[in-house]
């Protein structure tokens, strides 16, 4: 069994929130299972967040822009039309 080194741990920590265990295993030349086990040992979560999350429908950039426009006083239905995002979806990000 090959021991983990600091460089591999660093790659794992930096990649865990954006890449899958399978992708990280390819980068490091390790098995998918060993990546998952090592992440658990060193306390790294493999959960995806932001744009990398599997159920994400709209990009962080679009939502940030929508929030900025909303903060300037632009009406929700106008923002929705400009960004081509349903107003009912945008409401979830504002209220």
Q: Do 11 and 45 fall into the same domain?
A: yes
Q: How many domains does the chain have?
A: 2
Calpha distance 29→45 (Å, rounded): 20
* Residue 42 shares a structural domain with residue 68: no
Are 36 and 15 found together in one domain?
yes
Does residue 68 share a domain with residue 35? Answer: no
pTM of the model as a whole:
0.56
Residues 44 and 63 occupy one common structural domain: no
Please indicate, yes or no, whether residues 41 and 10 belong to a single structural domain of this protein.
Answer: yes
Both 43 and 19 in a single domain? yes
| One domain for residues 33 and 63 | no
pLDDT tens-digit profile of 44-94? 988 876 655 555 678 788 888 988 999 999 998 899 998 888 888 888 877
pLDDT at 95: 64
3-class DSSP state of 42: coil
Mean predicted confidence (pLDDT) in 20-43: 94
Burial classification of residue 22, based on how many CB atoms lie within 10 Å of its CB (0-12 exposed, 13-18 middle, 19 or more buried):
exposed
pLDDT at 50: 60
What confidence score (pLDDT) does residue 40 get?
A: 94
Q: Tell me how far apart the alpha carbons of residues 3 and 12 are, in angstroms, rounded to a whole number.
A: 14
Query: Are 14 and 5 contacting, i.e. CB atoms less than 8 angstroms apart?
Result: no
| Ramachandran angles phi, psi of 30, nearest 5° | -125, 170
Domain assignment of residue 1, yes or no: no
Residues 85 and 65 in one domain: yes
Q: 10 with 39, same domain?
A: yes
Q: 12: domain range?
A: 6-51
pLDDT, residue 48, reads 72
């Amino acid at each position: 069994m090959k021991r983990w080194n600091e460089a591999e741990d660093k790659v794992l920590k930096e990649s865990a929130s954006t890449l899958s265990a399978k992708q990280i295993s390819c980068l490091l030349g390790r098995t998918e299972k060993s990546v998952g086990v090592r992440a658990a040992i060193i306390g790294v979560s493999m959960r995806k967040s932001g744009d990398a999350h599997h159920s994400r429908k709209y990009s962080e950039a679009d939502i940030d822009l929508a929030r900025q426009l909303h903060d300037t006083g632009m009406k929700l239905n106008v923002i929705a039309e400009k960004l081509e995002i349903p107003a009912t979806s945008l409401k979830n990000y504002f209220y």
